Amino acid sequence: MGQTIGQIRDNTTRARHLYQRSKQQHFAVGAFNVDNQETMIAIALAAQKLNSPVLIEVSDGEVKAIGLHNIRDMVDNYKQEYGIEVYLNLDHSPSVDACKRAIDAGYEFIHIDISQADHNASEEEIIAKTKEVVEYAKFTGALIESEPHYFGGSSNVHNEDIDYEEIKKTFSTPEGARSFTEATGIDTLAVAIGNLHGKYPVPKELDLELLERIREVIGCGISLHGGSGTPLHYFEDAARIGVSKININSDMRYVFRKTLEKVLADNPDEYAVVKLMPEVYGAVQAVVEEKIKAFGSADKAIV
């Protein structure tokens, strides 16, 4: 069931107010990926319990698996059922057309990521296509996020250590951040300061001094991708400095699978899958609650 343009604009206005609150009150909003209904339930339960605003986000692959409009309807249903402040984010969308479809469907947050489809895309191409999405989004008021180059890693569990000397070559710079945000007019810049997609055998290390210098020279929102596997104190500091959005995926996927494996092993004769899932989404809920507390967004929801 689709939304009217009035409803969509009301939701995006609320989303913009949330971003303003996050900057003024120094908390970050968790953006949590879903690829199944159980994960969505876990996020909704955590948001309800801690009275926290949340973003539910889906990548291009997750959209194809569940359906662009199906996800919109599911989020709206859980928003009403649980009485939570929740928004929908299209994550790492590789094309302008996909972003436009999500804007039309009422997604409040849109991440255009041209380098996702082409790691060698030029900054000129990325700027041009980002500007096209920014312009298109003015009709609904959706908030647009982007970055000037490819962001490494993948939302999975990795066995290799992190090569920070290599990763540092892709770090954001204050000059580059200011230039890109001014050229595109985006609402959110996805920065690279040591954050990396995926879960690794060693903790991630964030360059908070670099984050502070970036925060000083740009006025738009800042997001951290690749939050999984990051010591929680980095999140607390990042929110204090002025990060408004932190993405989490692999930590949830990991505990989902490990708990599901345990539940299946403990219940070899149970074939009603629905009876097995509460323990699974309970484990995922615990991960989401841990992040919400570190982000400082508990008791920040306005329903």
> Quick one: which of 107, 145, 142, 140 has its CA closest to 126?
145
Pairing of the two strands 54-58 and 29-33: parallel
Say if residue 5's pLDDT is above 80.
yes
Query: In this predicted model, what pLDDT tens digit does every residue of 269-285 receive, in sequence order?
Result: 999 999 999 999 999 99
Mean pLDDT of 28-53: 97
- Does residue 91 have an active-site annotation? yes
Under 8 Å between Cβ of 241 and 211: yes
What are 153-195's pLDDT values in tens digits? 666 677 777 777 777 888 899 999 999 999 999 999 999 998 8
Integer Cα distance of 115 and 95 in angstroms = 10
pLDDT for 249 beyond 80:
yes
The backbone torsions φ and ψ at residue 199, rounded to the nearest 5 degrees and listed phi first, read -115, 125
CB 250 within 8 A of CB 198: yes
SS3 for 235? helix
Percent of the chain with pLDDT over 70: 97
- Measured at the CA of 120, the angle between CA 119 and CA 123, to 5 degrees, comes to 105
pLDDT one-digit tens code per residue, 18-27: 999 999 999 9
Coil, helix or strand at residue 222: strand
Domains of the chain listed by start with CATH number: 5-295 (3.20.20.70)
> Which of the following is catalytic: 35, 76, 91, 113?
91
pLDDT value, residue 226: 86
pLDDT in tens, 104-149: 999 999 999 998 788 889 999 999 999 999 999 999 999 999 998 7
Dist CA 207 CA 293 (whole Å): 21
pLDDT of residue 157: 74
